[in-house]
Amino acid sequence: MERSDERAANEIRVADESLTEWPTFDVRYAVEVEDDEPDRCTMYPADAADEDQMTTWITAEQGSYVSVVSRR
């Protein structure tokens, strides 16, 4: 097997394994509760430095997200 073929086989094997397991992430979250608007949940990496939290996050309004378990 040529070197490039071996590398391609390894990449395919990794891709196949990634399809059989759910990834895990160490995240923190904050929920903003508003009286006149839907609650918002913001998630960010647990190891993010304070300045990185300003750019490494995702926010969703209540009602626009579901449990991962319900989608498996």
Tens of pLDDT, residues 13-70: 555 566 677 777 788 888 999 899 999 988 888 888 888 877 888 888 988 878 777 7
Distance CA 15, CA 63 (A): 32
List the beta bridge partners of residue 31: 41
pLDDT of residue 4: 57
**Range(s) of the domain holding residue 32:** 24-72
Q: Let me know if residue 67 belongs to a domain.
A: yes
pTM of the shown model: 0.54
Q: Let me know if residue 33 belongs to a domain.
A: yes
From the centroid of its chain, how far is CA 41? 14
Distance CA 20, CA 37 (A): 38
Distance CA 62, CA 41 (A): 7
Q: Let me know if residue 66 belongs to a domain.
A: yes
Q: Let me know if residue 50 belongs to a domain.
A: yes
pLDDT of residue 14: 54
56 in Cβ contact with 48 (< 8 Å): yes
The domain total for the chain is 1
